[in-house]
């Protein structure tokens, strides 16, 4: 376990600055990218000092930094476990957008996304795991979606004013899968461009670019006179001026 913990931290000694700060930063980054799952129990201070290897004083100082910044929970007699601090789980923007408020991070303004509702998502994931037992004994072949899920989605559309039956619902593995399927079935004339709202989801542009010679950008805001406009722009991922 101790060797695995040290391996998860990577080449943290190569970082500039005090060892305690470098070690704390390495643990924090390992928690964020999943190498150290939240809830992982850390070895004792003595074992950590032996595994890294470091003086016990340096380990104590690093753990104190993590504890003060909310990345570590310590209970007397139970040791310490890593965690995500509240300033991340309660934030609106994803952590990757500004690296937790780091001042030297460039913001990607093409991504208008929010962070997942942390506690609600984890609770939903736990419920899904509890109900997954019967699925594991089935063939595992992809189908139109779980019957219960299709029924719930159909009911939601019906209550919103669009009468829908469960058999009319097809659940895909993600938005891009759904867009690719729709383009394959509906975009018959491949010579014609596809109209997309601008700004839009970059994944939608990638799907359209694979199925059409170009994208017609339709601004999401109307002109003063109330007339919508559209302009045709070829899409090249990462190219300057690509519609996003």
Number of domains, the chain = 4
Please tell me whether residues 59 and 39 are part of one structural domain: yes
User: Which DSSP letter does residue 42 get?
Assistant: P
Tokens matching residue 4: 């695995």
Q: Does 122 share its domain with 150? A: no
Instruction: Judge if 75 and 29 occupy the same domain.
Output: yes
Query: Is residue 190 located within the same domain as residue 218?
Result: yes
Q: What is the pLDDT of residue 175?
A: 85
- Which residues have CB under 8 Å from 14's CB, separation 6+? none
SS3 145: coil
223-240 residue pLDDT tens:
545 545 555 555 444 443
Rounded to two decimals, the pTM is 0.49
pLDDT at position 244: 37
**Omega of the bond leading into 199 within 30 degrees of 0 (cis):** yes
Question: What sections of the chain are H helices per DSSP?
Answer: 2-8, 19-32, 45-51, 56-68, 86-89, 95-98, 118-130, 147-159, 175-186, 202-211
Please check whether residue 244 lies inside any domain of the structure: no
Same domain for 14 and 68?
yes
CATH number, position 20: 1.10.10.10
In a domain, 239, yes or no: no
pLDDT at 242: 43
For residues 157 and 228, membership in a common domain is answered with: no
Q: What is the pLDDT of residue 202?
A: 77
Give pLDDT, residue 155: 94
Q: What is the domain range of residue 99?
A: 91-140
Last residue of a domain, one of 84, 100, 118: 84
Q: In the chain, which residues have pLDDT < 70?
A: 1-3, 90-115, 140, 142, 221-244
Report whether 242 contacts 221 (CB < 8 A): no
């Amino acid at each position: 376990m101790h060797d695995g913990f040290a391996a998860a931290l990577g080449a943290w000694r190569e970082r500039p600055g005090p060892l305690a700060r470098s070690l704390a930063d390495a643990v924090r980054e390992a928690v964020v990218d999943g190498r150290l799952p939240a809830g992982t129990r850390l070895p004792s201070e003595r074992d950590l000092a032996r595994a890294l290897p470091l003086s016990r004083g340096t380990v104590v100082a690093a753990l104190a930094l993590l504890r003060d910044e909310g990345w570590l929970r310590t209970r007397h007699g139970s040791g310490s476990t890593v965690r995500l601090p509240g300033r991340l789980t309660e934030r609106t923007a994803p952590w990757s957008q500004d690296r937790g408020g780091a001042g030297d991070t460039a913001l990607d303004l093409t991504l208008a996304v929010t962070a997942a509702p942390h506690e609600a998502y984890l609770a939903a994931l736990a419920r899904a795991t509890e109900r997954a037992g019967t699925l594991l004994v089935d063939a595992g072949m992809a189908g139109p979606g779980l019957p219960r899920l299709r029924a719930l989605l159909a009911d939601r559309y019906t209550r919103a004013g669009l009468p829908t039956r469960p058999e009319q619902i097809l659940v895909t593995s993600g938005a891009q899968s759904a867009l690719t399927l729709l383009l394959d079935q509906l975009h018959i004339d491949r010579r014609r461009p596809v109209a997309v709202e601008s700004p839009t989801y970059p994944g939608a542009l990638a799907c359209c670019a694979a199925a059409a010679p170009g994208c017609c950008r339709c601004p999401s805001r109307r002109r003063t006179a109330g007339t919508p406009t559209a302009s045709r722009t070829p899409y090249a991922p990462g190219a300057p001026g690509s519609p996003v």
